[in-house]
Amino acid sequence: MLTAQSPVTGNHLLRPNTGRRPLQPIKSPANVPPPLVDHSHQKPNLKLGWIEDSNKENPNQNEKRNRSSICSVAAVPVQIEQFEVSLAEELSAIREKMERLRLDKEKTEKMLREREVMMEMKMKDLDHRGQIQKVLEMEVDRLYRLNELRSLCNRILPIRSLREKEQEKIKPDKSQASNQQLI
């Protein structure tokens, strides 16, 4: 078991190492004060792998520290130039895309206008054909009614005109005269 040591001996309470560390503030190049250069009292930089690897909450923090210490002032303009170049490339790509979209929009609008004109022409043609069909239907209806009227008239006993009556009288006279001549 863990035992408490007295503060007189200088030993502190022994605690189990859980491998966790409390969150620490981010050290960015803007927040870090410039290091004082004192070469006489400089200690060698020792790396303890198990301490650095025990940072479970921020596994990439050590890499960021190393990169920030490695980067120099000369590298910053190169990054800015690369950033500007990449921005210029993105801007030109966006402009090309916008131009393509504008051309596609114009083509689509032109095609839609042409289709609209064609649809209007077809609608006018259909209206004209519809009017012609209505006229023809009315004419067919009239002819059909006229034909029915004629058939009804033929069913009713026809009224003979005077001319027809006289012709019938003449016909029997002619038939009698021809019979007498034959005898």
How confident is the model at residue 152, as a pLDDT?
78
pLDDT in tens, 55-83: 556 666 655 555 555 544 445 556 677 77
Measured between alpha carbons, how far is residue 174 from residues 31, 48, 87, 165 in Å? 144, 152, 121, 14
Q: What is the distance between the alpha carbons of residues 13 and 7, in angstroms, rounded to a whole number?
A: 9
Pick left, alpha or beta for residue 10 (phi over 0 → left; psi -120 to 50 → alpha; otherwise beta).
left
Q: What is the distance between the alpha carbons of residues 81 and 85, in angstroms, rounded to a whole number?
A: 6
Per DSSP, 32 falls in state S
pLDDT in tens, 95-148: 999 999 999 999 999 999 999 999 999 999 999 999 999 999 999 999 999 988
pTM: 0.34
